[in-house]
Structure 1
Amino acid sequence: MSEHPVIVTGANGQVGRRVLRAWRHEAPDFDYVAVARQAGPDWQAWDAGQPPVVSRARAVVGLWGVCFGTLEETRVNLDLAQAAQDLAAATGADRVIHLSTQSVYGRQCQNAAEDQAPTPANPYGTAKAEMEEMLRGIHAPKPVILRVANVIGADAISRSLAGDAPVVLDRFADGSGPVRSFIGIADLARIIAALVTCPLDQCPDVMNIASPVDLPMDAIMNAAGRAFEWQDAPAGALPSATIATDRLRASGLPQPRATSAEALYRDWQLHAD
């Protein structure tokens, strides 16, 4: 292992496990140490406030977080973000990759761009927007905020697909179903790896991370061969919740390869538990 590995926190989470699996399939050109509160097959035990597992690090990748619960419960994401910054400072890392969410855009999430003011509509989105605001006041180590779309395999639709309960999708007045932005695990893992290794001045302050092709949720169901039922969309249901990827496309970062429902489903199965 190099003297300056990358530290990956939250290695036992839904996204963390899958990113590590993607890196085993397609090894990055850096060493890394993965950690979680409890030791696992591919990670060491470590918690915020404990001495770092290595004395020097190249970067910190924060894959930990709380997605569900009340605002008070999801506000632990602010503490985790600060802990990642502290870990980077303690080990000499020059950057921290933080996962935020497209939920910060709330109901104003129709091809939402990074310069759009956050208008979160649920506790998770609110907590992540507060986390972003906190990080904006930090200059070093550099926080890199990724507003990530639905991560196939770790999102709500994937949980529905994996369960036994009948899947029900909203159908709107024009006959269409909900359209969402997605990102595959392998693509997310490649982008994170590139952000770890690129020159610091090429790291964005904030960037949307999604496939350039938004997809109907029923297309994902069909790709998975999963039966589903339609219901009339209730009042207030969003036909579309999508984010713009112009900034990602204009960057030198790897571009998403999984841009169809079939490719996203294959990606999910390849990196499944």
Structure 2
Amino acid sequence: MTADTAQTGPLILGGTGRIGRALRRLADDGHWPMGRAALWHGRRGDYAWDMREAPPALPRPVRGVVVLAGVTEGSPDALAANTDLALAALRLAARDGLGPVLLMSSAAVYGREADPGREDSAAPAAPYGEAKLAMERAVAAHVGRLGEQAPAACCLRLANIAGCDQLFGAMSAGPVTLDRFEDGRAPRRAYLGPLTLARALDALCAADTLPPVLNLAQPGAVGMDEILDAAGARWAWRAAPPGALPRTRLDTSRLAAAIGAVAPATAPGLVAEARMAGWTLA
């Protein structure tokens, strides 16, 4: 399937989840031009498909496939659906000659590893991270079985998405209680603004080649207290409980090699992008 790339966007599978809704808001408001040309999937979307069934024909050409569809919580059996959804997307892409296929994995595959997390390692510490790593391995195996007929596929180990993660969700619900470690600092996390995510997806869809796995984050780690202050949220400290993780950070050198440098994350920038994508403070 070919098309004028100036007139087509990606197929977004799972466009009704939190990240999908944020990206759709950016597209509808004109902040993500490629998204306005996207084909948005859902049970009742532009492309209606129950991903447990055989995929219907696409109504028009697309440029790349972005797989947001996934399961974030539940039993191990429920989380195993992440692999099923990824393989369904690959079968569609192979059938229609689509690519690249960008599949959302997670920084959770690094578990409690010393940062920065690098793509050649993984040590998940919770069922969600284990499920995402299993998905990555199933994708690699499926691509290997298809050989030359396989679509280009890249599993993206996502950082926290501003406006879509637990911290922003907590701010939307009311006052926040934040861990403080013995050094007086708050947790620091790898982040990615939703507009930066949209632009990175554009660049990844246009890349000549992609590795099987790639970290997707803005460089650095941002203090959660900085984000709360930038958003004007109400919050208070508590002593960090045993086992709390002070910092997560992702190595973004391979991302920069693939699509060019991405601006470091800042708390004001993350809050601004979250608001552009529809997030609001309580």
- Aligned partner (choices 65, 69, 75) of residue 74 of structure 2: 69
- Aligned partner (choices 41, 48, 53) of residue 45 of structure 1: 48
- Matched-pair contact (CA < 8 Å) for 2:32–2:198: no
Aligned counterpart, 2:18: 14
Distance 1:247 1:169 in 2: 32
Give the unaligned 5+ runs of structure 2. 145-149
Does the alignment pair 1:128 with 2:132? yes
Does the alignment pair 1:249 with 2:256? yes
- Matched-pair contact (CA < 8 Å) for 1:71–1:126: no
In structure 2, relative to structure 1, the CA distance for the partners of 1:30 and 1:15 (3 Å cut) is closer
- Aligned partner (choices 125, 142, 145) of residue 155 of structure 2: 145
Does the alignment pair 1:188 with 2:214? no
Which aligned pairs between 1:153-164 and structure 2 lie closer than 5 A?
A: 153-164=163-174
**Offset at residue 70 of structure 1 (A):** 2.0
Give the unaligned 5+ runs of structure 1. none
Aligned counterpart, 1:34: 40
In structure 2, relative to structure 1, the CA distance for the partners of 1:109 and 1:66 (3 Å cut) is farther
Give me the CA root mean square deviation.
2.1
- Matched-pair contact (CA < 8 Å) for 2:55–2:92: no
Residue-by-residue CA offset, 1:229-249 (whole Å, 9 max, x unaligned):
111111111111221112122
Aligned length: 265
Letter paired with 2:13: T
Distance 1:270 1:197 in 2: 24
**Offset at residue 58 of structure 1 (A):** 3.6
- Matched-pair contact (CA < 8 Å) for 2:171–2:233: yes
Distance 1:152 1:241 in 2: 15
Which aligned pairs between 1:227-238 and structure 2 lie closer than 5 A?
A: 227-238=234-245
Aligned counterpart, 2:274: 268
Distance 1:107 1:239 in 2: 10
Letter paired with 1:221: L
Higher mean C-alpha displacement, 188-197 vs 215-224 = 188-197
Distance 1:86 1:189 in 2: 24
Letter paired with 2:73: F
Higher mean C-alpha displacement, 47-56 vs 178-187 = 47-56
- Matched-pair contact (CA < 8 Å) for 2:161–2:191: yes
Distance 1:26 1:182 in 2: 19
Distance 1:154 1:246 in 2: 24
- Aligned partner (choices 195, 207, 232) of residue 198 of structure 1: 207
Does the alignment pair 1:221 with 2:228? yes
- Matched-pair contact (CA < 8 Å) for 1:105–1:119: yes
- Aligned partner (choices 202, 208, 214) of residue 215 of structure 2: 208
**Offset at residue 57 of structure 1 (A):** 4.3
Higher mean C-alpha displacement, 23-32 vs 176-185 = 23-32
Instruction: Spell out structure 1 runs of 4+ moving beyond 6 A.
Output: none
